[in-house]
Chains A and B, each alone.
Chain A
Amino acid sequence: MNTEPNAALADRILSRIKGEGIVPRPRWEFFVKNVAFWALGAFAVALGAFAFSAGLFEVENAGWQFYAATHGDLLTFILEAMPFLWLLALALFILLGYANIRRTKRGYRYPLSLIAFGAVLTSVALGTGLYAAGLGAELEEAVGDHPPFYRPVLVEQHVWWEAPGKGLLGGTVVSLATDTATFVLKDFSGRTWTVSSGGLPPQAITLLARGGTVRVVGVPVVASTSDFDACFIFPWQTFGVAKSGPLPPPIAVISSSSETGMTSVRIQQCKSIGSYRQLRSIEDAGSF
């Protein structure tokens, strides 16, 4: 090939530039394009942070301590409690962030691992802040209401704890008998239960006396009855909400003639609960 400079080429190019009226595109176009890619990249990472905060809210409120009671084994619990939707959203937004940053003026110089690590770190740090500010809860509940395949974590919890057949009940304490042997609980569907609480440890009675929402693990109900025998009482805490909810309504104090202690039959029934030992250790540690 002839590699000598071809004088005619420069002439041909210049005459085409002049003939077709070609002018350099203005500098601001490139500036705007570059800024737009950075902005889109940052926006995607910010969306990733929101996804992370919602996922964190879901994980924090999944009720990990009680997996033995609700699911029996950890693997089944993890499969149900993992925030797959939010993890997927986080991954997609990070990819989107990478794709945009990669298209900025010098974005190609950064390796995928560096951008991905930076994007994950930013999303996680920002997402943790958003979670602490309560935005994770807002987003999780707002978005969670819409996709048909997804239930917000708190709704999911209500479903898991509205299973008297499995010995699980959740709801608001309505009243407590003067001798603390029974209390009345309204579950999340509005159904009222008379729960035997005789013989429960003092911290459980304190929880009941304080009112509000509680988790009750008891003897599984076999017939259609509104009576329930409690073995454990745990508070119903919601993590990652900006404002603490209203104070629980004052509970009524009612008289009772029930057995105040726990009968030996009930003690045996409680001990036969599959998750008895795990729940006992949670109760003993007071780690709720």
Chain B
Amino acid sequence: MPPEHLTDEEIVRRALKEKDAFAPLIERYEAKLARYLERLGLSVREDREDVLQNAFIKAYRNLNSFDPELSFSSWMYRIAHNEAMSFFRARRARPQVELSEEGEALIVELKDESADASASAEARISREELARGLSRLPERYRDVLALRFFEDKSYAEMSDILQVPVGTVSTLVHRAKHALRAALPDTFHP
């Protein structure tokens, strides 16, 4: 059966027997994870590729620890996330978020929760301002916002990626939105 018809779990089983069978997984997740890493603040393409490569190597080395009760996607995101955090710590680099066309979902979410939605709806916020706001947030808050609003992950998936209980994810998302609102220009505030 061609790899494109196989589930992630089936490819994992194949890859455990044959190295080359790992390639379809890389191709399947490469773009998504690269985008995720960029949203985490890895703005330099070479750095992103290094982190991505290390994440896939680590995933291959630890394939036997993959728990089929989790989705492979969550497991892979977790590894990529941990690699990115190690990168920032090792380089003592400050994450620099750059956003392309995305961000609208997050802006809508922030506006919906404002006390005076009609007033804030008038306020416009540029992608650059949102990126600057995200860059200013603590790492933990940026992580949850990226997963929730850019990667469209559920709380259960975020729990598996960040390895914290679902309740903690919910609290973090709430606090992160509050922190981001505070980090945005005054014109955005209700």
Contacts and interface: CB of A to CB of B under 8 A. Distances in A.
Interface of A: 1, 3-7, 9-14, 16-18, 22-27, 29-30, 105-106, 108-111
A3 B35 contact: yes
B10 interface: no
B63 A24 contact: yes
A182 to B, nearest CB: 69
B38 A1 contact: yes
A75 B45 CA distance: 66
B53 A16 contact: yes
A13 B56 contact: yes
Contact of A24 (B45, B56, B62, B164): B62
Given A10-B30, A24-B64, A30-B64, 19 more contacts: A1-B48, A1-B100, A3-B35, A4-B31, A6-B30, A10-B23, A10-B27, A13-B26, A13-B57, A14-B23, A16-B57, A17-B60, A23-B61, A26-B64, A27-B65, A30-B62, A108-B159, A109-B159, A109-B165
B167 interface: yes
A111 B168 CA distance: 8
Chain B interface: which size bin?
Answer: 35 or more
Contacts of B98: 1
A14 B159 contact: no
Interface centre among A1, A16, A18, A30 (most CB of B within 10 A): A1
23 contacts: A1-B98, A3-B31, A3-B34, A5-B27, A9-B26, A10-B26, A10-B27, A11-B23, A12-B53, A13-B22, A13-B57, A14-B22, A17-B22, A18-B19, A24-B60, A24-B61, A24-B62, A25-B64, A26-B64, A29-B64, A30-B62, A108-B163, A109-B165
Interface string B57-77: 100111111010100000000
B20 interface: yes
A10 B59 CA distance: 13
Nearest to A109: B165
B16 interface: yes
Interface centre among B30, B38, B98, B167 (most CB of A within 10 A): B30
A105 B34 CA distance: 26
Contacts, number: 81
A11 B22 CA distance: 10
Interface string B8-46: 000000001001101100110011001100100000010
Interface centre among B19, B35, B159 (most CB of A within 10 A): B19
Contacts of A12: 53
B49 interface: yes
Given A22-B57, A108-B163, A9 B52 contact: yes
Contact of B16 (A4, A24, A29, A30): A24
A248 to B, nearest CB: 57
B62 A108 contact: no
A1 B167 contact: no
A17 B19 contact: yes
A36 to B, nearest CB: 14
A26 B165 CA distance: 28
Contact of A5 (B19, B31, B163): B31
A201 B72 CA distance: 80
Nearest to B60: A17
B99 to A, nearest CB: 10
A14 B18 CA distance: 11
